[in-house]
Amino acid sequence: MLETFETVSKAVADRSRARILKLLEGGELCVCQITTVLDLAPATVSKHLAMLKVAGLLQQRRDGKWVYYRLAERDLNHCARKFLALIGGCLNEDPAVEEDRRILAMVNAVPVQVLCDQGRAALGPNAEASKATTCCGGPV
Amino acid sequence: MLETFETVSKAVADRSRARILKLLEGGELCVCQITTVLDLAPATVSKHLAMLKVAGLLQQRRDGKWVYYRLAERDLNHCARKFLALIGGCLNEDPAVEEDRRILAMVNAVPVQVLCDQGRAALGPNAEASKATTCCGGPV
DNA sequence: CCATCATTTCGACATATTGGAAAGTAATGG
DNA sequence: CCATTACTTTCCAATATGTCGAAATGATGG
């Protein structure tokens, strides 16, 4: 039990992984979508996802070339279930999480294939700059 | 918010600190009591306690030479409150946590002064060995 | 004051963790 | 088959973490 608790809590106790969990509250995403939002190397994201999966927080599904991850719904340990519930009630107004959701909206507007080919460039020239300037042409 | 979440979750995501939080569910304890139960160096325990306090999970009170820690009740952030509630519902049947409670019962049977002087030796010769043998003379 | 003692801080060390580049896998489409 | 492609695994560097011993701190009792 303590081992499970430690695994799950350590999985959650990282900025990038917390962001991933919050992202997936909106539904399943493939690795390249998550990678684009987080703006990290694919290897890094893959490792984070593996860790969350080992902790029982995520589940996986393959669809052709793409691998989709989602929040665990069945067969998850007691501990993981509680942590997911906790996180669901946290961070909803966090600026970084909100920014991720904003980027995710753009990501969802682009076919996965294009995203894999172009990465963040597929989101248009404003996706990156919008962090600094929101005056003219920036979203919202 | 994410910063707070990270601080609190990292504070919780350690075996020793989780044990401390479970210990304190029974009420406040002074550092030497916690040290005796965990069987770690005072410096180590002190650092863990400081980390839990910074995260807003613990509060502190001085009584003469002794410093007592307890689970935070007031002035704790949203996040810390949720984590404390989660932990309260976890690990209650964990063997290590139960063993800690068993040792704590022995610790509580000894005056704090004696505990500080003698450490684990104050618990009697069986406190340590009981982990290996419970056949003859071992508690319960 | 001064000695004592519970606790904390500092310094050091071993280990763990995060992140990325490069090589390896697995599935798709010729 | 073979090339391509999305993802994973394997290294490796940089940093963070857990633990302890030694020194510092802060309160107590002469």
pLDDT at B131 over 70: no
Pair of tokens at residue A1 = 């039990």
- What are the phi and psi torsion angles at B23 (to 5°)? -60, -45
Question: Please, is B77 exposed, middle or buried when counting C-beta atoms within 10 Å of its C-beta (0-12, 13-18, 19+)?
Answer: middle
Kindly report whether the global pTM for this prediction surpasses the value 0.85.
yes
Give the model's confidence band at A62: pLDDT under 50 very low, under 70 low, under 90 confident, else very high: very high
- What value, to the nearest 5°, has the Cα angle with vertex B105 and ends B83 and B9? 15
Nucleotide with C1' nearest the A11 CA: C17
Mean pLDDT, range B131-139, rounded to an integer: 44
Q: Is the pLDDT of residue A139 over 50?
A: no
Virtual CA dihedral for A99, A61, A84, B91, nearest 10 degrees?
-140
Is B51's pLDDT higher than 80? yes
Helix (H, G, I), strand (E, B), or coil: what is residue A59? strand
Mean pLDDT, to the nearest integer, of A77-99?
A: 96
| Lookup: tokens for B20 | 């401390």
Q: Determine the Cα–Cα distance for residues A38 and A33; give it in Å rounded to an integer.
A: 9
For residues A106 and A127, is the Cβ–Cβ distance under 8 A? yes
Nucleotides on chain C within 7 angstroms of protein Cβ? 5-11, 17-23, 27-29
Higher local confidence (pLDDT), B53 or B74: B53
Q: Residue A45 CA to nucleotide C26 C1', Å?
A: 18
Contact predicate B102/B128, CB 8 Å: no
Greater pLDDT, A66 or B132: A66
Query: Does residue B139 surpass a pLDDT of 70?
Result: no
Distance B29 CA to D25 C1' (A): 21
Query: Which residues, other chains included, contact A13 with Cβ-Cβ below 8 Å and sequence gap of 6+?
Result: B6, B9, B10, B12, B13
Cβ-proximal residues to A134 (8 Å cutoff; 6+ apart), any chain: A140
Q: Which helix (H) or strand (E) holds B66?
A: strand B66-71
* pLDDT at B8 (0 to 100): 98
What is the DSSP secondary structure assignment for residue A58, as one 8-state letter?
E
Output Rg (C-alpha) for chain A, integer angstroms: 16
- pLDDT band at residue B128 under the 50/70/90 scheme: low
Task: Return d(Cα A125, Cα B89) in angstroms, integer.
Answer: 48
Asked whether residue B138 carries a pLDDT value surpassing 90, the answer given is no
What's the confidence (pLDDT) of residue A127? 62
- Of the candidates A15, A78, A79, the beta carbon closest to that of B2 is on A15
Residue A39 is encoded by which pair of tokens? 């703006």
- Test B13 with A1 for CB contact under 8 angstroms: no
Closest alpha carbon to C1' of D19, residue: B44
Of residues B114 and B14, more confidently modeled: B14
Q: Please report which confidence band the pLDDT of residue B124 belongs to, taking 50, 70 and 90 as the band edges.
A: confident
Summarised one tens digit per residue, pLDDT across range A37-56 is 999 999 999 999 999 999 99
A92 conformational bin, left if phi > 0, alpha if psi -120 to 50, beta if neither? alpha
Indicate the pLDDT class of residue B35, thresholds 50, 70 and 90. very high
Q: Give A105-137 pLDDT, tens digit per residue.
A: 999 999 999 988 888 888 876 665 444 444 444
